[in-house]
Structure 1
Amino acid sequence: MRDVLAVLAGGLVGTGLRLGLDSVLPHEGFAVSTLVANTVGALALGMLVARLWDRVPSWLRAGLGAGLLGSFTTFSALAVALVSLGAAGDWMPALAYLVATMALGLGAAWLGLRIGRPRATAPLDLVDE
C-alpha cells in the first residue's frame, strides 16, 4: 500500500510539473515540451538509478520512478506528437522527431548514469569491451 501511495503522490507532483512545462513551451507543430520532458526525465531517472536505487526503499523508488518521472514523461504524448506531425502526409518531420527523441533520451539516460554514480566506485561500464 505504501508503494501505491508513493506513486500517487509522485504522480501528482510529476503531472503538475508537466503541466507547467506544457504551458511554458507550447505544442505548435513540433512538440518541444514533450521532447524536453522526456529528455529531462531520462536524465533524472538515470541519475536516480545510479545514485539511489540500491539504497532506498521500494516505496521511494516507486514514487520517484513510476510516480514522479512516469507522469512527467509520457509515451502517449510522444505518440500523439508523432501522429500529429505525420497527419499532413509527410512523415519525415515525425521520423526526425522520433530519432531526436530516442537519441536525446538515450544520451540523457547515459549521462544521468554517469553523473549519478558514486565517485568512490569504479567507472560504470555500459558497453563490454
Structure 2
Amino acid sequence: MRTYLAVALGGLVGTGLRLAVDLFLPHAETGFPVSTLIVNLVGALVLGWLVGGLWARPGTPSWLRAGFGAGLLGSFTTMSAVMASLVLLSSDGAWWLAALYLTVSVVGGLALAAAGLRLGSRLAHRPMPTTVTDAGQTL
C-alpha cells in the first residue's frame, strides 16, 4: 500500500512540475518544444543520478524508488509528448526541426543519463553522514 501511495504522490508532484515548466516555457503546437526537451533531459539526468546513487545504497526502500521513479519522474517526463511534438513538427513540414529535436532528445538524454549514473555512483560510494552539528552541517 505504501508503494501505491508513494507513486500517486510522486505522480501528483511530477505532473505539477511538468505543468509549471510548460506554463513557464510555452510554445506553439508547431514550434520547437523547448519545455518538453528540457523536461526530458532533466528527467534523464535525475533518474540516472537516482539509479546510480540513492538506489544503489543498501536499504533504500522499494516504495521510495517507485515514488521517485515511476511516480515523480514518470509523470514529469513523457515519451508521448516527444512523439506528439515530432508528429506536429513533421506534419507542418519542419522535417529538419523534427530531426534536430529527435536527435537532441535521444543523444542528449543518453548523455545526461550516463552523467547522472556517474554522479550518483560517486555519491553512493561515499559513507552516509552520521553526525550533524548544531549548524546543520554534516561532519
Q: Give the TM-score taking structure 2 as reference length.
A: 0.82
Structure 1 position 72 matched with structure 2 position 107: no
Superposed CA offset, 1:40-92 (max 9, x none): 00000011011111331111100000000000000111111101111123422
Q: Which residue of 1 aligns with 2:36?
A: 34
107, 111, 120: which one aligns with 2:111: 107
Q: Is the CA contact (8 Å cut-off) linking 2:53 and 2:123 kept in structure 1?
A: no
User: Runs of at least 4 residues of structure 1 off by over 4 A?
Assistant: none
Read off the aligned partner of 2:4 and give its amino acid letter.
V
State the shift of 1:120 in Å. Answer: 7.7
- Partners of 2:14 and 2:78 lie apart in 1 by 11
What is the number of residues matched between the two proteins?
121
Q: Which residue of 2 aligns with 1:95?
A: 99
Output the aligned Cα RMSD. 1.4
- Partners of 1:88 and 1:74 lie apart in 2 by 22
* Aligned positions of 1:1-129 closer than 5 A: 1-28=1-28, 29-55=31-57, 56-118=60-122, 121=125
Q: Give the TM-score taking structure 1 as reference length.
A: 0.88
State the shift of 1:118 in Å. Answer: 3.0
For structure 2, which runs of at least 5 residues remain unmatched after alignment?
Answer: 126-139
State the shift of 1:119 in Å. Answer: 5.2
Q: Percent identity?
A: 60
Q: Is the CA contact (8 Å cut-off) linking 2:14 and 2:72 kept in structure 1?
A: yes
For structure 1, which runs of at least 5 residues remain unmatched after alignment?
Answer: 122-129
